[in-house]
Amino acid sequence: MKIPFLNRKRYIVLKAYTWNKFFLDNAPIQISSKDPNPQKTKNQEIDGNDFRLCYARTMGRNKCATIFAPCSMNFHMKVNDKQQVEPSYEMSMLSSWIDVTFDHTADPYYNTNQVCIGKISMPWMLHEETGVNFLLARHIENSSPMMIPSGILSYKLQHQLHIFNHLMRMPLSYEVTFREPIASLFPLTDKPLHVESYYDITKYQELDAISASRPYFKNHRMKLEKKLKEIR
């Protein structure tokens, strides 16, 4: 649905851009009210415990955006020749399109003795012009063993979309199926949310370049916002 140009800030518009039409056609970022409903079991009587009537789920469907798995993802923690557990991943036919980085940070204040951090670089760039903050959280219908830490994000200055996945440091292996709803984005505002997804290589590359060229500082988000206010 196209949004009228005369918004008057009555709602929030989250725009998502991808460089491959496959992702737009098969796993677009969308308002959660468009997510498939769980199928009713034959002869099932609806009662107050029916998941489809869960208050958190039904109220959240119009208030957040859904991020789907863009392909089948397999995560492993295997014991190597040195008897150490090390991570690996496989991504169906799209393995060369989506990157996963493990333990990309060596922050001594973030204790990862029990988990390995995998950063999944999603094939989307996001833009929202008002600067509203979004809460990223594990999707309520994510049935995989993924452990996705929550966080606060804004897509006015930074546009890349990364999903972090914690893997226990023990032998394990599991699959996240294609189009599994893995995470949700909740705008921290009472204004309605509209979500638009596009196949636009030029815009994707533009937003990617902007994100990559922003000045980087320790605690860079707060310092960057202050610096940009001074420039303006």
Task: Identify which has the larger pLDDT, 103 or 122.
Answer: 122
pLDDT in tens, 38-65: 666 566 666 656 777 777 788 888 899 9
Task: Identify which has the larger pLDDT, 150 or 9.
Answer: 150
- pTM beyond 0.75: the answer is yes
CA distance 34 to 49: 22
Query: Domain coordinates of the chain in residue numbers?
Result: 12-31+58-231
* pLDDT over 90 at 19, yes or no: yes
Helix (H, G, I), strand (E, B) or coil at 145: coil
Instruction: Give Cα separations from 52 to 16, 39, 68, 137 (angstroms).
Output: 28, 9, 19, 20
User: How high is the pLDDT of residue 192?
Assistant: 95
* pLDDT over 70 at 123, yes or no: yes
Sheet holding 65-68, edge to edge: 30-31, 65-68, 181-187, 133-138, 151-154
Instruction: Give Cα separations from 65 to 15, 28, 88, 165, 205 (angstroms).
Output: 11, 10, 29, 19, 22
Q: Which of 45-54, 149-158, 159-168 has the lowest mean pLDDT?
A: 45-54
The residues, any chain, with a CB within 8 Å of residue 114's CB and separated by 6 or more, are: 168, 169
User: How high is the pLDDT of residue 231?
Assistant: 62
* pLDDT over 90 at 205, yes or no: yes
* pLDDT over 70 at 228, yes or no: no
pLDDT in tens, 178-195: 999 999 999 999 999 999
